[in-house]
Amino acid sequence: MQLGLDCQDCDDVLRRERGCGERGILPFRLDDDVFFRCPVKLVTPVTWEYLRAYNFYKKSILPNGNNWLGESQKFLDAMIVIEKELNRLQADELKEKRHG
C-alpha cells in the first residue's frame, strides 16, 4: 500500500523528479496539499507498521494473539483511524462514480 508508488520501480531520474532524497521537481497533489517529496517518504516507519498491521487486523489476527482487550489503546486507536480513513476514501470514490 504505497499510493501506487513502488521504490523498486524508480531509477535515478525518477528519484530526483519525485523527491526521494530531497525536494523533487514534480509536485504531488493529495487532496488540497502539494508536496515536492515522494509521498512514500513522508510516511514514518511506525505508520507503515500500523498499515501492515491493519491487514492482519482485518483478518482477525491480533499482535498479542488473544482478543482486542489484550491490545494497547494505541494499536486500537491506529486501527480505528485507518478504518475511518479507508471508509472515507471509499465513500468519496462512490460519490465520484455517481456524479462523475
59-77 per-position pLDDT tens digit? 989 988 878 888 999 999 9
Grid coordinates of 32? 488540497
- Whole-angstrom distance, CA of residue 20 vs CA of residue 81: 27
| H helix or E strand, kind and range, residue 14 | helix 12-18
Domain match, 39 and 51 both: no
Residues 57 and 89 in one domain: yes
pLDDT tens digits for range 23-55: 999 898 887 889 999 988 888 999 989 999 999
Residue 2 has pLDDT above 60, yes or no: no
Same domain, 38 and 71: no
The parent domain of residue 54 ranges over 44-100
- Asked if residue 99 and residue 52 are part of one domain, the reply reads yes
Same domain, 22 and 62: no
Q: How many domains does the chain have?
A: 2
**Residue 54 has which C-alpha cell?**
491493519
Cell 512514500 locates to: 40
Domain co-membership, 23 together with 34: yes
Q: Please, which pLDDT band fits residue 1 given cuts at 50, 70 and 90?
A: very low
